[in-house]
Chain A
Amino acid sequence: MFIRIQKDKCSGCETCIDSCPYDAIVMKDGKAEINELCQICSACLSVCPEGAITETEENSDKKEKGQGAGVWVFAEQRDGRLADVSLELLGVGGMLAEKRGAELSAVLFGSTEKEADELIKWGADRVYHCSAEIFSRFNDEAYSRLLSDLIRQYRPEIVLAGATPAGRSFIPRVAARLRTGLTADCTSLDIDSETGNLLQVRPAFGGNIMAAILCPHTRPQMATVRPRVMKRSEYDSGRKGAIIKVTADNITSRTNVIETVKEVSGAALNLQEANIIVAGGRGTDGQKGFDLLFELAGVLNASVAASRAAVDEGWIPYRHQVGQTGKTVGPKLYIACGISGAVQHLVGMQSSDIIVAINKNPDAPIFNVANYCISGDLFEIVPMLTKKLKEVKGL
């Protein structure tokens, strides 16, 4: 498929020039012409008053899959190590690239060639890697300058990044610099089969509603995605791809990180890495209830999380809080005990593979998202669960 302008019909009115998000239409000898920047996005098709622009199947100058087009993933690193969300983005990015018949690229700032190579094994066809010193630590201005420069140079049609503190801080600058749209915190991404546009779904109003967002007229289409929402693709140690070295001359920043202080204990970090989470809400009624949860978590080798109500009561520190104003988690198993299931809590744990809810109230909204609903008293159910698990595991 490609786009063609019928020279004899073109009146030279230039209407199509502004319609192109890629600056791929230029005037030559008084007629419009499509150059190599065309991404076949079809935005120009309907604007020509003469009907001179058409889509054809001929492959005379069919675009090579690869450079120029494609899906980009910003691969975040911390202390040189790839953040999990980077691998999750390659998962969803790969699906989108396949639907568009395009390549999947990753952009890595800081870190080493070894990590760049890891990105290829996780699904990237090419990696743009800049190892300059200024990028070893997160820096808004430097990161946004270089990423927008690269986007201007290579013109991907989709750019994804993690909705992490860093991603949510610097990606909006990139979007503003490029004057393009950005959709925050997407929970699902797909290609609209009719238009080929990126269909971005995200919660709004505290998760009370979902909104589907499009960015039809400007490129790239940009989105941030919450960690732990998308699935990684398969790791293939034999996978091959290209690593493109990027230099960063003249990139400076007016902000400077003097020091990075780690405060979070293992327990809370584990929360986002945990395979199993036992979570408690106001229904735990304080220390006594949480003691039961910690005991169950011990047997399951699980981490303990909490609703905001439990945190506000002071029963457990803030870093255990899951939800809109806490952490987003996506374990294999989430056991919610005495949690009503307010939307603000649900947005933080809904993407768990299996959700078990234990609640006294059979109408609690948590049961709408649970796979297994136990209506009963947690003070009875939880100890029984712990006891039986101990038996099974021979503890």
Chain B
Amino acid sequence: MKTIVCIKQVPDTAEVRINPETNTLIRDGVPSIINPYDMHAIEAGLYIKEKTGGSVTVLTMGPPQAETALRYAISMGVDDAVLLTDRAFAGSDTCATAYILSKAIEQLGVDIIICGKQAIDGDTAQVSPEIAEFLDIPHIAYIRKFDDIKNDRIVVQRLMDEGYDLVESSLPVLLTVVRELNDPRMPSLKGKIAAKKAEVKKMSASDIGAGEDDIGLKGSPTQVRNIFAPGTTKDRKILEGAAEEQVDLLLKELTELKCL
């Protein structure tokens, strides 16, 4: 089985703040991590390899620094790493990103593509189904368990609002994974050595045959008009006094609002 895992390097979002004066992101000193959901995707790729043989490739589109994320994946045990990096990719929205990744995947060839449920910077969860559509293959989102993996068919549990669906699909297929699926392993010593020595394959826009109208800002239908800090509530009341007074006041107000 040939598996490709798509991973993204993201800022550790819990720490990203906005400068309220300039409305720009304060990203200085915010550490970069592998998108947490993608860690589960890597683990899923390794699991499939252990079950069926074959190979696992990690793929990312990003700036040259994203190589760090790929090397970490190698230390966990994946076989190859591919970095899609090109100035022309900058400014890509989910549509353009998915197009770029799909062009690379087309070249690499694949049976199973695994992505995280979503990336924690944008939280869109759009890139993966869009990759599947560009490749014209089926996808199953929110996998929480593998039930069966065969050469031409896969059966998995898909997490839904009220429970789960048991879903089967033909191959090739794209899967997105949730945290419940597995516990990502730690790098082994052997893995760490391999990660140091491994060669990361780099590919540019022309390597994957991506047209300039389909990538970067030009290939992105959506545009960010502006960003701003989340507002605070305007009608805010700070209740004063001893505990009992506060409780009485609250009950009075809530009764007037017919909330109770």
Contacts and interface: CB of A to CB of B under 8 A. Distances in A.
A213 B225 contact: yes
Contact of A182 (B126, B162, B236): B126
Contact of B18 (A209, A215, A257, A353): A209
A182 B142 contact: no
B16 A205 contact: yes
A212 B165 CA distance: 35
A205 B25 contact: yes
Nearest to B172: A254
A59 interface: no
A394 to B, nearest CB: 13
Interface of A: 78, 138, 140-141, 144, 164-166, 168-173, 175-177, 179-185, 199, 203-218, 253-264, 269, 276, 300, 324-325, 332-333, 342-344, 346, 353-356, 367-377, 380-381, 384-385, 388-389, 392
Interface residues of B, number: 77
B187 interface: no
17 contacts: A176-B95, A181-B221, A199-B225, A206-B13, A206-B123, A209-B228, A209-B229, A212-B225, A212-B227, A215-B223, A264-B162, A356-B254, A371-B237, A373-B236, A373-B238, A381-B243, A381-B246
B189 interface: no
Contacts of B162: 78, 262-264, 269
Interface string B126-159: 1111101110011111100000000000010001
A354 B221 contact: no
A141 B230 CA distance: 36
A206 B120 contact: yes
10 pairs of A and B residues whose beta carbons are closest in the complex: A181-B221, A181-B222, A263-B163, A176-B133, A172-B129, A206-B13, A176-B130, A184-B124, A169-B141, A254-B138
B172 to A, nearest CB: 10
A200 to B, nearest CB: 8
Contacts of B229: 209-210
The secondary structure that dominates the A interface is mixed
A324 B123 contact: yes
A185 B126 CA distance: 11
Nearest to A365: B232
A165 B123 contact: no
B231 to A, nearest CB: 8
B165 A260 contact: yes
A208 B246 contact: no
Contact of B129 (A169, A180, A208, A210): A169
B14 A140 contact: no
B125 A184 contact: yes
Given A168-B126, A354-B259, 10 more contacts: A172-B133, A173-B133, A177-B133, A206-B14, A209-B229, A255-B140, A261-B166, A332-B259, A354-B254, A371-B236
Contacts of A182: 94-95, 126, 222
Given A182-B94, A332-B259, A172 B126 contact: yes
B93 interface: yes
B212 interface: no
Max chain A CB contacts within 10 Å: which of B126, B137, B244? Answer: B126
B243 A384 contact: yes
B167 A257 contact: yes
B25 A259 contact: no
Contact of A256 (B122, B169, B230, B255): B169
Contact of A371 (B169, B235, B246): B235
B198 interface: no
B182 to A, nearest CB: 16
B239 interface: yes
Given A204-B227, A256-B167, A260-B163, A168 B125 contact: yes
Contacts of A216: 223
Contacts of A389: 251, 260
A361 to B, nearest CB: 13
Contacts of A392: 251, 255, 260
B204 to A, nearest CB: 23
A263 B164 contact: yes
Contacts of A207: 230
Contacts of A176: 95, 98, 129-130, 133-134
Nearest to B168: A256
A332 B258 CA distance: 10
Nearest to B132: A173
Contacts of B133: 144, 172-173, 176-177
A261 B13 contact: no
B95 A181 contact: yes
A39 to B, nearest CB: 16
Nearest to A362: B238
B130 A212 contact: no
Contacts of A333: 254, 259-260
A374 B239 contact: yes
A259 B260 CA distance: 41
B166 A368 contact: no
Given A165-B141, A169-B142, A371-B237, A212 B248 contact: no
B166 A172 contact: no
